[in-house]
Protein backbone atom coordinates (compact mmCIF):
# COMPACT_ATOMS: atom_id res chain seq x y z
CA UNK A 1 0.00 0.00 0.00
CA UNK A 2 1.21 3.52 -0.82
CA UNK A 3 0.15 6.18 1.67
CA UNK A 4 0.04 9.99 1.61
CA UNK A 5 0.02 11.83 4.96
CA UNK A 6 -1.21 15.43 5.00
CA UNK A 7 0.41 17.78 7.52
CA UNK A 8 3.85 18.60 8.79
CA UNK A 9 4.06 18.38 12.57
CA UNK A 10 5.33 15.88 15.11
CA UNK A 11 2.05 13.99 14.87
CA UNK A 12 2.61 13.49 11.14
CA UNK A 13 6.22 12.51 11.81
CA UNK A 14 4.96 9.85 14.24
CA UNK A 15 2.35 8.67 11.72
CA UNK A 16 4.92 8.48 8.91
CA UNK A 17 7.36 6.63 11.19
CA UNK A 18 4.77 3.97 12.05
CA UNK A 19 3.74 3.68 8.39
CA UNK A 20 7.37 3.37 7.31
CA UNK A 21 7.77 0.42 9.73
CA UNK A 22 4.59 -1.25 8.45
CA UNK A 23 5.42 -4.24 6.19
CA UNK A 24 2.23 -3.58 4.17
CA UNK A 25 3.46 -0.10 3.20
CA UNK A 26 5.60 0.24 0.09
CA UNK A 27 5.88 4.05 0.01
CA UNK A 28 5.21 6.89 2.43
CA UNK A 29 4.54 10.34 1.01
CA UNK A 30 3.91 13.47 3.07
CA UNK A 31 2.72 16.94 2.16
CA UNK A 32 4.06 19.36 3.13
CA UNK A 33 6.11 17.53 5.82
CA UNK A 34 9.14 18.96 7.62
CA UNK A 35 12.90 18.42 7.86
CA UNK A 36 12.56 15.28 10.00
CA UNK A 37 9.81 13.66 7.94
CA UNK A 38 11.97 14.21 4.83
CA UNK A 39 14.29 11.49 6.14
CA UNK A 40 11.60 8.78 6.04
CA UNK A 41 9.05 9.96 3.46
CA UNK A 42 8.97 11.67 0.11
CA UNK A 43 7.79 15.26 0.57
CA UNK A 44 5.51 17.20 -1.76
CA UNK A 45 4.46 20.83 -1.58
CA UNK A 46 0.70 21.32 -1.42
CA UNK A 47 -1.83 23.77 -0.04
CA UNK A 48 -3.25 21.48 2.66
CA UNK A 49 -6.52 23.43 2.73
CA UNK A 50 -7.16 22.85 -0.98
CA UNK A 51 -9.11 19.59 -1.26
CA UNK A 52 -8.88 19.46 -5.07
CA UNK A 53 -5.10 19.91 -4.92
CA UNK A 54 -4.68 17.20 -2.27
CA UNK A 55 -6.92 14.81 -4.23
CA UNK A 56 -4.96 15.50 -7.43
CA UNK A 57 -1.67 14.84 -5.63
CA UNK A 58 -3.04 11.56 -4.21
CA UNK A 59 -4.14 10.47 -7.69
CA UNK A 60 -0.81 11.44 -9.24
CA UNK A 61 1.11 9.48 -6.59
CA UNK A 62 -1.31 6.57 -7.03
CA UNK A 63 -1.69 6.08 -3.26
CA UNK A 64 -4.29 3.74 -1.78
CA UNK A 65 -4.75 5.77 1.42
CA UNK A 66 -4.60 9.44 2.41
CA UNK A 67 -4.28 10.25 6.12
CA UNK A 68 -5.27 13.82 6.98
CA UNK A 69 -3.44 14.89 10.16
CA UNK A 70 -4.45 18.41 11.24
CA UNK A 71 -7.87 19.85 11.96
CA UNK A 72 -7.84 22.77 9.51
CA UNK A 73 -7.87 20.62 6.32
CA UNK A 74 -10.50 18.33 7.87
CA UNK A 75 -12.77 21.26 8.66
CA UNK A 76 -12.11 22.49 5.10
CA UNK A 77 -13.40 19.17 3.67
CA UNK A 78 -10.12 17.77 2.38
CA UNK A 79 -10.84 14.15 3.40
CA UNK A 80 -14.13 14.08 1.49
CA UNK A 81 -12.53 15.72 -1.56
CA UNK A 82 -10.10 12.78 -1.64
CA UNK A 83 -12.93 10.25 -1.21
CA UNK A 84 -14.85 11.88 -4.06
CA UNK A 85 -11.87 11.10 -6.23
CA UNK A 86 -12.32 7.42 -5.34
CA UNK A 87 -9.32 7.21 -2.99
CA UNK A 88 -9.66 5.99 0.62
CA UNK A 89 -9.13 8.83 3.11
CA UNK A 90 -8.69 8.61 6.86
CA UNK A 91 -10.47 11.60 8.37
CA UNK A 92 -14.01 12.89 8.85
CA UNK A 93 -16.00 15.05 6.44
CA UNK A 94 -16.22 18.80 7.03
CA UNK A 95 -19.64 18.38 8.61
CA UNK A 96 -18.51 15.68 11.04
CA UNK A 97 -15.30 17.60 11.82
CA UNK A 98 -17.45 20.33 13.34
CA UNK A 99 -17.28 18.15 16.42
CA UNK A 100 -13.90 19.83 16.83
CA UNK A 101 -14.48 22.98 14.75
CA UNK A 102 -17.43 24.22 16.79
CA UNK A 103 -17.64 23.82 20.56
CA UNK A 104 -21.35 24.70 20.40
CA UNK A 105 -22.00 21.89 17.88
CA UNK A 106 -20.07 19.42 20.05
CA UNK A 107 -22.16 20.35 23.08
CA UNK A 108 -25.35 19.86 21.09
CA UNK A 109 -24.27 16.40 19.92
CA UNK A 110 -23.27 15.40 23.46
CA UNK A 111 -26.59 16.51 24.84
CA UNK A 112 -28.52 14.56 22.21
CA UNK A 113 -26.35 11.47 22.76
CA UNK A 114 -26.49 11.65 26.57
CA UNK A 115 -22.71 12.02 26.82
CA UNK A 116 -21.49 13.37 30.19
CA UNK A 117 -19.86 16.82 29.86
CA UNK A 118 -19.63 20.15 31.70
CA UNK A 119 -22.84 22.20 31.88
CA UNK A 120 -22.39 25.13 29.53
CA UNK A 121 -23.91 28.10 27.74
CA UNK A 122 -23.20 29.64 24.36
CA UNK A 123 -22.90 33.44 24.69
CA UNK A 124 -22.58 36.22 22.13
CA UNK A 125 -23.44 39.37 24.11
CA UNK A 126 -21.92 40.98 27.22
CA UNK A 127 -25.16 40.38 29.12
CA UNK A 128 -25.12 36.67 28.31
CA UNK A 129 -21.45 36.49 29.29
CA UNK A 130 -22.05 38.14 32.67
CA UNK A 131 -25.02 35.94 33.41
CA UNK A 132 -23.10 32.76 32.54
CA UNK A 133 -20.03 33.77 34.60
CA UNK A 134 -22.35 34.35 37.58
CA UNK A 135 -24.20 31.06 37.09
CA UNK A 136 -21.11 28.83 36.96
CA UNK A 137 -18.86 30.88 39.29
CA UNK A 138 -15.08 30.58 39.72
CA UNK A 139 -12.87 29.08 38.42
CA UNK A 140 -14.18 30.44 35.12
CA UNK A 141 -13.90 28.47 31.88
CA UNK A 142 -14.30 30.53 28.69
CA UNK A 143 -13.83 28.98 25.23
CA UNK A 144 -13.72 30.67 21.86
CA UNK A 145 -16.25 28.87 19.62
CA UNK A 146 -13.87 28.03 16.82
CA UNK A 147 -10.55 26.42 16.01
CA UNK A 148 -7.83 27.88 18.18
CA UNK A 149 -5.20 25.12 18.43
CA UNK A 150 -5.87 24.67 22.14
CA UNK A 151 -5.15 28.32 22.80
CA UNK A 152 -8.69 29.76 22.67
CA UNK A 153 -9.52 28.53 26.17
CA UNK A 154 -9.05 30.60 29.31
CA UNK A 155 -9.41 28.96 32.72
CA UNK A 156 -9.00 31.54 35.47
CA UNK A 157 -10.16 32.59 38.92
CA UNK A 158 -10.06 36.22 37.75
CA UNK A 159 -13.52 37.35 36.63
CA UNK A 160 -12.21 40.38 34.71
CA UNK A 161 -9.78 38.21 32.74
CA UNK A 162 -12.53 35.70 31.93
CA UNK A 163 -14.87 38.51 30.85
CA UNK A 164 -12.23 40.22 28.69
CA UNK A 165 -11.46 36.98 26.87
CA UNK A 166 -15.17 36.36 26.29
CA UNK A 167 -15.75 39.84 24.88
CA UNK A 168 -12.73 39.56 22.58
CA UNK A 169 -14.34 36.54 20.82
CA UNK A 170 -17.45 36.61 18.61
CA UNK A 171 -19.13 33.71 20.27
CA UNK A 172 -17.98 31.82 23.34
CA UNK A 173 -18.92 28.77 25.34
CA UNK A 174 -18.83 29.39 29.10
CA UNK A 175 -19.00 26.31 31.27
CA UNK A 176 -18.63 24.80 34.70
CA UNK A 177 -15.12 23.97 35.89
CA UNK A 178 -14.25 20.26 35.87
CA UNK A 179 -11.86 19.12 38.60
CA UNK A 180 -9.71 16.00 38.37
CA UNK A 181 -6.98 14.67 36.12
CA UNK A 182 -7.28 14.82 32.33
CA UNK A 183 -7.06 11.87 29.97
CA UNK A 184 -6.83 11.84 26.20
CA UNK A 185 -8.50 8.81 24.68
CA UNK A 186 -8.39 8.29 20.92
CA UNK A 187 -10.67 5.97 18.98
CA UNK A 188 -10.40 4.88 15.38
CA UNK A 189 -13.85 4.63 13.82
CA UNK A 190 -15.42 3.96 10.44
CA UNK A 191 -18.64 5.71 11.44
CA UNK A 192 -20.10 2.62 13.04
CA UNK A 193 -17.50 0.45 14.77
CA UNK A 194 -15.36 2.16 17.42
CA UNK A 195 -11.86 0.90 18.27
CA UNK A 196 -10.37 2.75 21.24
CA UNK A 197 -6.60 3.14 21.46
CA UNK A 198 -4.67 3.28 24.76
CA UNK A 199 -5.16 6.39 26.89
CA UNK A 200 -2.50 9.06 27.28
CA UNK A 201 -2.05 12.21 29.29
CA UNK A 202 -1.06 15.55 27.79
CA UNK A 203 0.49 18.56 29.57
CA UNK A 204 -1.29 21.63 28.24
CA UNK A 205 0.27 24.42 30.26
CA UNK A 206 3.55 25.99 29.16
CA UNK A 207 5.40 25.77 32.48
CA UNK A 208 6.30 23.17 35.11
CA UNK A 209 3.67 22.49 37.74
CA UNK A 210 0.87 23.27 35.24
CA UNK A 211 1.55 26.98 35.40
CA UNK A 212 1.60 29.50 32.55
CA UNK A 213 -0.63 29.78 29.51
CA UNK A 214 -2.36 26.94 27.65
CA UNK A 215 -0.44 25.55 24.68
CA UNK A 216 -1.04 22.92 22.01
CA UNK A 217 0.64 20.44 24.41
CA UNK A 218 4.13 20.32 25.95
CA UNK A 219 4.52 16.59 26.49
CA UNK A 220 2.65 13.34 27.03
CA UNK A 221 2.94 9.81 28.37
CA UNK A 222 1.20 6.46 28.12
CA UNK A 223 0.05 4.21 29.76
CA UNK A 224 -1.62 5.83 32.77
CA UNK A 225 -0.75 3.62 35.75
CA UNK A 226 -3.16 5.53 37.99
CA UNK A 227 -6.24 5.07 35.77
CA UNK A 228 -8.98 2.54 36.57
CA UNK A 229 -8.57 -0.60 34.44
CA UNK A 230 -12.16 -0.22 33.20
CA UNK A 231 -11.70 3.35 31.99
CA UNK A 232 -11.37 2.63 28.28
CA UNK A 233 -14.45 0.40 28.21
CA UNK A 234 -16.48 2.89 30.21
CA UNK A 235 -15.56 5.71 27.84
CA UNK A 236 -16.31 3.55 24.84
CA UNK A 237 -19.82 2.86 26.15
CA UNK A 238 -20.67 6.25 27.62
CA UNK A 239 -18.89 8.59 25.24
CA UNK A 240 -17.38 7.25 22.03
CA UNK A 241 -20.04 4.87 20.72
CA UNK A 242 -23.02 7.18 21.54
CA UNK A 243 -21.26 10.11 19.82
CA UNK A 244 -20.48 8.11 16.69
CA UNK A 245 -24.06 6.76 16.66
CA UNK A 246 -25.54 10.26 17.05
CA UNK A 247 -23.50 11.66 14.16
CA UNK A 248 -24.54 8.77 11.93
CA UNK A 249 -28.17 9.36 12.94
CA UNK A 250 -27.76 13.02 11.88
CA UNK A 251 -26.60 11.93 8.43
CA UNK A 252 -23.03 13.10 9.02
CA UNK A 253 -21.19 9.86 9.85
CA UNK A 254 -17.83 10.38 11.54
CA UNK A 255 -14.99 8.24 10.23
CA UNK A 256 -11.39 8.79 11.21
CA UNK A 257 -9.97 9.58 14.61
CA UNK A 258 -12.30 10.62 17.39
CA UNK A 259 -10.32 12.17 20.23
CA UNK A 260 -12.05 12.51 23.58
CA UNK A 261 -10.43 14.96 25.99
CA UNK A 262 -11.74 13.78 29.36
CA UNK A 263 -11.70 14.94 32.97
CA UNK A 264 -11.87 12.21 35.61
CA UNK A 265 -13.89 14.21 38.14
CA UNK A 266 -15.14 13.29 41.59
CA UNK A 267 -18.55 12.76 39.94
CA UNK A 268 -17.28 10.55 37.15
CA UNK A 269 -15.89 10.90 33.65
CA UNK A 270 -16.77 14.10 31.76
CA UNK A 271 -15.87 15.16 28.22
CA UNK A 272 -13.88 18.41 28.12
CA UNK A 273 -13.70 18.50 24.34
CA UNK A 274 -13.70 16.40 21.21
CA UNK A 275 -11.16 16.62 18.45
CA UNK A 276 -11.56 15.15 14.99
CA UNK A 277 -7.93 14.06 14.54
CA UNK A 278 -4.98 12.49 16.30
CA UNK A 279 -3.85 14.69 19.21
CA UNK A 280 -0.38 16.13 19.36
CA UNK A 281 1.72 15.22 21.43
CA UNK A 282 -0.35 12.23 22.63
CA UNK A 283 -0.08 10.50 19.23
CA UNK A 284 3.68 10.29 19.65
CA UNK A 285 3.34 8.11 22.78
CA UNK A 286 0.27 6.13 21.71
CA UNK A 287 1.81 5.11 18.38
CA UNK A 288 5.09 4.31 20.14
CA UNK A 289 3.16 1.54 21.95
CA UNK A 290 0.89 0.30 19.14
CA UNK A 291 2.08 -3.04 17.76
CA UNK A 292 -0.66 -3.57 15.20
CA UNK A 293 0.55 -2.31 11.83
CA UNK A 294 -0.97 1.14 11.32
CA UNK A 295 -1.83 1.18 7.61
CA UNK A 296 -4.38 -1.63 7.78
CA UNK A 297 -6.08 -0.08 10.78
CA UNK A 298 -6.44 3.32 9.16
CA UNK A 299 -7.42 1.81 5.82
CA UNK A 300 -10.11 -0.32 7.48
CA UNK A 301 -11.52 2.80 9.14
CA UNK A 302 -11.47 4.68 5.85
CA UNK A 303 -13.30 1.89 4.03
CA UNK A 304 -15.89 0.81 6.62
CA UNK A 305 -14.19 -2.49 7.50
CA UNK A 306 -13.16 -2.00 11.12
CA UNK A 307 -15.53 -4.71 12.40
CA UNK A 308 -13.46 -7.31 10.54
CA UNK A 309 -10.15 -6.27 12.09
CA UNK A 310 -8.62 -8.43 14.89
CA UNK A 311 -8.14 -6.74 18.30
CA UNK A 312 -5.26 -4.29 18.54
CA UNK A 313 -1.96 -5.41 20.01
CA UNK A 314 -0.02 -3.17 22.42
CA UNK A 315 3.52 -3.09 23.71
CA UNK A 316 3.95 -3.53 27.49
CA UNK A 317 6.45 -0.67 27.39
CA UNK A 318 5.79 2.88 28.51
CA UNK A 319 6.37 5.94 26.32
CA UNK A 320 7.12 9.56 27.14
CA UNK A 321 7.45 12.55 24.83
CA UNK A 322 8.83 15.98 25.70
CA UNK A 323 8.17 18.97 23.45
CA UNK A 324 10.94 21.48 22.82
CA UNK A 325 9.34 24.84 22.02
CA UNK A 326 10.71 28.03 20.48
CA UNK A 327 11.55 31.18 22.32
CA UNK A 328 8.30 32.95 23.27
CA UNK A 329 5.92 30.04 22.47
CA UNK A 330 2.88 30.00 22.91
CA UNK A 331 3.12 33.70 22.07
CA UNK A 332 4.48 34.62 18.62
CA UNK A 333 7.41 32.20 18.42
CA UNK A 334 10.87 33.12 17.18
CA UNK A 335 11.84 30.94 14.20
CA UNK A 336 14.90 30.38 12.04
CA UNK A 337 17.19 29.30 14.90
CA UNK A 338 19.60 26.46 14.07
CA UNK A 339 18.99 23.14 15.88
CA UNK A 340 22.07 21.22 16.93
CA UNK A 341 22.60 17.87 18.63
CA UNK A 342 19.86 16.00 16.76
CA UNK A 343 22.10 13.08 15.90
CA UNK A 344 23.53 12.78 19.42
CA UNK A 345 19.99 12.88 20.80
CA UNK A 346 18.90 9.96 18.64
CA UNK A 347 22.06 8.05 19.66
CA UNK A 348 21.63 8.30 23.43
CA UNK A 349 19.57 5.15 23.63
CA UNK A 350 18.05 3.07 20.91
CA UNK A 351 14.65 3.64 22.54
CA UNK A 352 14.84 7.45 22.09
CA UNK A 353 14.10 9.31 18.88
CA UNK A 354 13.40 12.85 17.84
CA UNK A 355 10.18 13.68 16.03
CA UNK A 356 10.15 17.00 14.24
CA UNK A 357 7.28 19.45 14.68
CA UNK A 358 8.17 22.90 13.35
CA UNK A 359 11.46 22.46 11.47
CA UNK A 360 12.78 23.05 8.00
CA UNK A 361 16.05 23.05 6.13
CA UNK A 362 17.42 26.51 5.41
CA UNK A 363 19.28 27.54 2.23
CA UNK A 364 22.55 26.21 3.70
CA UNK A 365 21.04 22.81 4.45
CA UNK A 366 20.92 23.37 8.20
CA UNK A 367 17.89 22.23 10.20
CA UNK A 368 16.26 25.32 11.72
CA UNK A 369 13.17 26.02 13.82
CA UNK A 370 10.07 26.93 11.83
CA UNK A 371 7.24 26.99 14.36
CA UNK A 372 6.23 27.23 18.01
CA UNK A 373 6.62 23.59 18.92
CA UNK A 374 9.87 22.52 17.29
CA UNK A 375 10.65 18.95 18.36
CA UNK A 376 8.91 16.15 20.23
CA UNK A 377 11.56 13.98 21.83
CA UNK A 378 10.12 10.52 22.40
CA UNK A 379 11.40 7.49 24.28
CA UNK A 380 10.11 4.10 25.33
CA UNK A 381 11.23 2.04 28.30
CA UNK A 382 10.25 -0.79 30.62
CA UNK A 383 8.26 1.66 32.75
CA UNK A 384 7.49 5.37 32.82
CA UNK A 385 10.59 6.17 34.87
CA UNK A 386 12.81 4.53 32.25
CA UNK A 387 11.01 6.13 29.32
CA UNK A 388 11.16 9.50 31.03
CA UNK A 389 14.88 9.17 31.73
CA UNK A 390 15.48 8.26 28.07
CA UNK A 391 13.48 11.20 26.77
CA UNK A 392 15.17 13.75 29.03
CA UNK A 393 18.63 12.35 28.29
CA UNK A 394 17.92 12.93 24.60
CA UNK A 395 16.49 16.41 25.29
CA UNK A 396 19.68 17.37 27.12
CA UNK A 397 21.72 16.75 23.95
CA UNK A 398 19.69 19.16 21.82
CA UNK A 399 20.70 22.78 21.46
CA UNK A 400 18.21 25.36 20.23
CA UNK A 401 18.83 28.94 21.25
CA UNK A 402 16.08 30.42 23.44
CA UNK A 403 14.06 27.18 23.52
CA UNK A 404 12.15 25.88 26.50
CA UNK A 405 10.62 22.61 27.61
CA UNK A 406 8.88 21.32 30.69
CA UNK A 407 11.00 19.26 33.07
CA UNK A 408 8.10 17.51 34.80
CA UNK A 409 6.48 15.49 31.99
CA UNK A 410 5.24 12.18 33.48
CA UNK A 411 7.15 12.90 36.72
CA UNK A 412 4.26 12.33 39.09
CA UNK A 413 2.95 9.24 37.28
CA UNK A 414 6.46 7.74 37.17
CA UNK A 415 7.00 8.37 40.88
CA UNK A 416 3.63 6.87 41.85
CA UNK A 417 3.82 3.74 39.74
Contacts to ligand AMP by CB under 6 A: 118, 141, 143, 150, 153, 155, 175, 177-178, 182, 204, 214, 261, 272-273
280 binds ligand GLY (CB under 6 A): yes
Residues 190-209 that bind ligand GLY (CB under 6 A): 202
Q: Could you give the residue ranges of the DSSP H alpha helices within 137-173?
A: 159-168
Contact between 325 and 215 (Cβ < 8 Å): yes
DSSP 38-68: GGTSEE----TT-HHHHHHHHHHHT-SEEEE
Compare residues 34 and 321 and give the one whose CB is closer to ligand AMP. 321
**What separation in angstroms does the CA of 211 have from each of 205, 335, 395, 406?**
6, 24, 21, 10
Question: What percentage of the chain's residues is helix, strand, coil (to nearest 5)?
Answer: 35, 30, 35
The only residue of 279, 333, 371, 372 in contact with ligand GLY, by rule CB under 6 A: 279
Piece of 191-199, 229-237, 275-283, 328-336 that binds ligand GLY (CB under 6 A): 275-283
175 binds, among ligand AMP, ligand GLY, none (CB under 5 to 8 A by kind): ligand AMP
**Least separation in angstroms between CB 150 and ligand AMP:** 5
Segment near ligand GLY (CB under 6 A), from 78-86, 157-165, 273-281, 306-314? 273-281
Shortest CA distance to 222 belongs to which of 350, 313, 312, 320? Answer: 320
Interaction of residue 282 with ligand GLY, rule CB under 6 A: yes
Least CB distance from residue 408 to ligand AMP, whole Å? 16
Contact of 218 with 325, CB cutoff 8 Å? yes
Q: How far is the CB of 113 from ligand AMP (least distance, A)?
A: 18
Tell me how many degrees the CA angle 111-113-115 measures, rounded to the nearest 5.
70
Residue 374: phi and psi, rounded to 5, are -100, -50
Q: Which does 282 bind (CB under 5 to 8 A by kind): ligand AMP, ligand GLY, none?
A: ligand GLY
Binding mask 145-174 for ligand GLY (x = CB under 6 A): -----x------------------------
Q: Identify residues 209-228 at the interface with ligand GLY (CB under 6 A).
A: 216-217
- For residue 155, the partner it binds in ligand GLY, ligand AMP, none, with Cβ less than 5 to 8 A by kind, is ligand AMP
Distance in angstroms (rounded) separating the CA atoms of residues 86 and 329: 40
| Spatial contact of 338 and 346, defined as CB atoms under 8 Å apart | no
The rounded distance, in Å, linking the Cα atoms of 376 and 219 is 8
- Toward ligand AMP, which CB reaches closer, 170 or 316? 170
> DSSP letters of 259-281?
EEEEEEETTEEEEEEEESS--TT
**Stretch 222-261: interaction string toward ligand GLY, x if CB under 6 A:** ----------------------------------------
- Among ligand GLY, ligand AMP, none, residue 153 binds (CB under 5-8 Å by kind): ligand AMP
Give which of 76, 70, 108 is closest to 95, Cα–Cα. Answer: 76
User: 253 or 279, CB closer to ligand GLY?
Assistant: 279
**216 or 253: whose CB is closer to ligand AMP?**
216
The item of ligand GLY, ligand AMP, none sharing an interface with residue 348, based on CB under 5 to 8 Å by kind, is none
Q: Is 268 exposed, middle or buried (0-12, 13-18, 19+ CB in 10 A)?
A: exposed
* HSE-CB for 44 with a 13 A CA cutoff: 19
Q: How far is the CB of 45 from ligand GLY (least distance, A)?
A: 25
Position closest to ligand AMP via CB: 273
Provide the 10 A C-beta neighbour count for residue 265. 15
| 275 forms part of the interface with ligand GLY (CB under 6 A) | yes
The answer to whether 270 and 178 have CB atoms below 8 angstroms apart is yes
**112/155 with CB nearer ligand AMP:** 155
* Site residues, ligand GLY (CB under 6 A): 150, 202, 216-217, 275, 279-280, 282
Amino acid sequence: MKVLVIGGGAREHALCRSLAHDPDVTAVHCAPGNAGIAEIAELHPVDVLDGAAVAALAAELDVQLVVVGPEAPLVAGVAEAVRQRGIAAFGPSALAAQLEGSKAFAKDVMEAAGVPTARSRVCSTAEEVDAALDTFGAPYVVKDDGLAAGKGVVVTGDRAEARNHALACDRVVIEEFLDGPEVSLFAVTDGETVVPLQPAQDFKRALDGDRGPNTGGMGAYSPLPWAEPGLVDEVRHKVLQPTVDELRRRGMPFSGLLYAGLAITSRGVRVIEFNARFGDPETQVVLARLRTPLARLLHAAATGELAQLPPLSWSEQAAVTVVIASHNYPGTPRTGDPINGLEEAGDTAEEAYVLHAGTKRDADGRTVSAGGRVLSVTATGADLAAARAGAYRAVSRIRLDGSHHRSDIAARAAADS
